[in-house]
């Protein structure tokens, strides 16, 4: 123990069981994205820090990124997010892509943060975006992809909800309150924090950033008005599209959803578990209008969202929504009786594998009892025995480990019999 080198803070080791969870999430993410016709892509894992310096906040670049000098003296960063890479990739081929672009990705990201439940320094994230269309219907499609994913992992609408708001709507409300443009960011952050602070402290905070009593009262009445969306044509169209897409049960309007990101300009949304130990968002995203211009492209509007593997993984585990773990992809174990039968056992394995049957072999002679215990732990469905008696008669014993029944078949019939018993 003493001399063991620990894992780097905030990283996780994926033992087969955790790897199965990651693969499960990846499979569901891919299925949801592909159901809507999205193409898979990826960017580099290491980027120049300048890519993020352009648009991402100072906090991110200076404090929350893994940045270091490479051997040539350039500052490089382990990517903390994908959107700037996506924007650059789109901008580089802006005139040859077919629009709308519908792309998705699932890969590793790094952020130098304080690890907690639901937050690691190295994590996997699903990113999915549609670019080249600026419409409430496009926004609705992304929300529908998110809802499709939630449904596919068993998070029904009573367990998870996607909350939606619109930046433009909020801006027009803030205009009515005469909150100056340069205060908007602070107000957004204030709104973001509301559920986490007690009321009196929140009020005090509001005064601190320069709101007066009338503005504070106005802000509170906006934030408690869950019918506000009806005043926005954009959101009205958005909700009717969701209705048609069949996912409106998942989606609720909530004026408290702001999202800290600077680049969101229209619809914003975040999904939360309705009850449970985690108060963190499962996924979040929105519409951004100006991102491409910042990396040298022509203006192009996009909408997308991201989902980390950590929070959804914890929720699926806590809700018991994961399929039972299979220790091995093999369905069959071929036991090894003694050294003299080793070649026959291996030949039998080869036959099975050639027929497409995943097959484990016990790698050394041992008591059958021990081999059957191993088969049990590995949860294989069938165990095959080829001992001296069987070898002499040209037979193989096949035991069904679930029912406990076993049959003797001729060597030539093993493959078809195994296939029959597995089907």
Partner RNA sequence: GAGCCUGUAGCUCAACGGCAGAGCGCCACACUGUGGAUGUGGAUGUUGUGGGUUCGAAACCCAUCAGGCUCCCCA
Q: CB-based contacts of 319: which residues, under 8 Å, 6+ apart?
A: 154, 155, 159, 276
- Of 281, 252, 286, residue with least CA distance to 139: 286
Under rule CB under 7 A, residue 301 binds RNA: no
For residue 222, the minimal CB distance to RNA (Å) is 20
Dihedral sign, CA of 383, 384, 390, 391?
A: negative
Dihedral sign, CA of 229, 167, 206, 191?
A: positive
From residue 112 to residue 151, the character string flagging contacts with RNA as x (rule: CB under 7 A) and all else as - is -xxxxxx---------------------------------
Under rule CB under 7 A, residue 261 binds RNA: yes
For residue 259, the minimal CB distance to RNA (Å) is 5
Select the residue interacting with RNA from 127, 222, 399, 417 (CB under 7 A). Answer: 399
Under rule CB under 7 A, residue 166 binds RNA: no
Q: Half-sphere exposure of 5 toward its Cβ, with a 13 Å CA cutoff?
A: 1
Select the residue interacting with RNA from 28, 88, 111, 287 (CB under 7 A). Answer: 111
For the chain, the maximum distance between any two Cα atoms, rounded to a whole number of angstroms, is: 96
**Residue with smaller CB distance to RNA, 71 or 196:** 196
**Residue with smaller CB distance to RNA, 95 or 114:** 114
Under rule CB under 7 A, residue 9 binds RNA: yes
**Residue with smaller CB distance to RNA, 81 or 173:** 81
Under rule CB under 7 A, residue 56 binds RNA: yes
- The answer to whether residues 385 and 396 touch, using CB atoms and an 8 Å cutoff, is yes
CA distance 45 to 171: 35
Residues comprising the chain, all counted: 423
**Residue with smaller CB distance to RNA, 248 or 265:** 265
CA distance 47 to 24: 28
**Residue with smaller CB distance to RNA, 241 or 380:** 380
3-state secondary structure of 281: coil
Under rule CB under 7 A, residue 372 binds RNA: yes
If you compute the radius of gyration of the chain from its CA atoms, what whole number of angstroms results? 28
- The answer to whether residues 81 and 109 touch, using CB atoms and an 8 Å cutoff, is yes
**Residue with smaller CB distance to RNA, 64 or 137:** 64
Under rule CB under 7 A, residue 219 binds RNA: no
Under rule CB under 7 A, residue 354 binds RNA: no
Under rule CB under 7 A, residue 10 binds RNA: yes
Under rule CB under 7 A, residue 279 binds RNA: yes
130: which DSSP letter? E
**Residue with smaller CB distance to RNA, 2 or 181:** 2
How many positions of this chain bind RNA (CB under 7 A)?
64
3-state secondary structure of 409: strand
- Of 300, 264, 285, 290, residue with least CA distance to 101: 300
Under rule CB under 7 A, residue 33 binds RNA: no
From residue 81 to residue 110, the character string flagging contacts with RNA as x (rule: CB under 7 A) and all else as - is x-x---------------------------
Select the residue interacting with RNA from 178, 189, 213, 416 (CB under 7 A). Answer: 189
Tokens of 27: 């499979």
- The answer to whether residues 109 and 79 touch, using CB atoms and an 8 Å cutoff, is yes
CA distance 83 to 93: 16
Under rule CB under 7 A, residue 402 binds RNA: yes
Which residue matches tokens 């296939």? 419
Under rule CB under 7 A, residue 287 binds RNA: no
3-state secondary structure of 264: strand
- Of 349, 412, 339, 419, residue with least CA distance to 384: 349
Select the residue interacting with RNA from 43, 80, 255, 266 (CB under 7 A). Answer: 80
CA distance 207 to 266: 27
Stretch that binds RNA, among 41-49, 58-66, 154-162, 346-354 (CB under 7 A): 58-66
**Residue with smaller CB distance to RNA, 351 or 400:** 400
For residue 83, the minimal CB distance to RNA (Å) is 6
State the residues that interact with RNA by CB under 7 A: 1-2, 6, 8-11, 52, 55-57, 59-61, 64-65, 80-81, 83, 111, 113-118, 189, 192-193, 196-197, 259-263, 277, 279-281, 284, 367-370, 372-373, 375-377, 383, 385, 387-390, 397, 399-404, 406
């Amino acid at each position: 123990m003493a001399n063991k080198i620990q894992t780097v803070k905030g990283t996780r080791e994926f033992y087969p069981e955790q790897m199965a969870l990651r693969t499960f999430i990846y499979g569901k993410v891919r299925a949801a994205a592909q159901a809507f016709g999205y193409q898979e892509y990826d960017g580099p894992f290491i980027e120049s820090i300048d890519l993020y310096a352009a648009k991402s906040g100072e906090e991110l670049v200076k404090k929350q990124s893994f940045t270091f000098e490479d051997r040539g003296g350039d500052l490089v960063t382990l990517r903390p997010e994908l959107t700037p890479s996506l924007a650059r990739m789109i901008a580089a081929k802006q005139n040859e892509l077919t629009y709308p672009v519908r792309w998705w990705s699932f890969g590793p990201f790094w952020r130098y943060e304080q690890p907690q439940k639901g937050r690691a320094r190295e994590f996997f994230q699903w990113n999915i975006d549609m670019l080249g269309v600026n419409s409430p219907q496009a926004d609705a499609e992304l929300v529908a992809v998110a809802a499709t994913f939630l449904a596919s992992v068993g998070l029904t609408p009573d367990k998870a909800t996607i909350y939606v708001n619109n930046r433009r709507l909020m801006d027009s409300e803030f205009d009515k309150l005469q909150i100056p443009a340069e205060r908007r960011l602070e107000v957004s952050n204030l709104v973001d924090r509301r559920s986490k602070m007690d009321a009196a402290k929140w009020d005090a905070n509001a005064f601190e950033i320069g709101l007066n009593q009338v503005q504070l009262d106005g802000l509170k009445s906006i934030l408690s008005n869950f019918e506000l969306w009806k005043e926005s044509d954009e959101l009205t169209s958005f909700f009717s599209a969701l209705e048609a897409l069949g996912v409106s049960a998942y989606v609720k309007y909530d004026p408290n959803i702001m999202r800290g990101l600077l680049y969101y300009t229209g619809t914003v949304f975040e999904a939360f578990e309705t009850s449970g130990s985690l108060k963190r968002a499962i996924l979040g995203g929105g519409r951004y209008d100006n991102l491409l211009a910042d990396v040298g492209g022509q203006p192009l509007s996009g909408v997308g969202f991201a989902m980390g593997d950590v929070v959804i993984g914890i929720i699926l585990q806590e809700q018991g929504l994961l399929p039972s773990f299979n220790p091995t992809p093999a369905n069959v174990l071929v036991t090894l009786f003694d050294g003299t039968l080793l070649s026959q056992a291996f030949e039998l394995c080869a036959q099975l594998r050639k027929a497409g049957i995943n097959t484990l072999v016990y790698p050394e002679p041992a008591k059958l009892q021990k081999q059957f215990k191993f088969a049990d732990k590995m949860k294989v469905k069938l165990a095959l025995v080829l001992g001296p008696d069987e070898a002499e008669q040209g037979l193989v014993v096949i035991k069904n480990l679930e029912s406990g029944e076993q049959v003797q078949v001729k060597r030539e019939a093993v493959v078809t019999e195994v296939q029959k018993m597995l089907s």
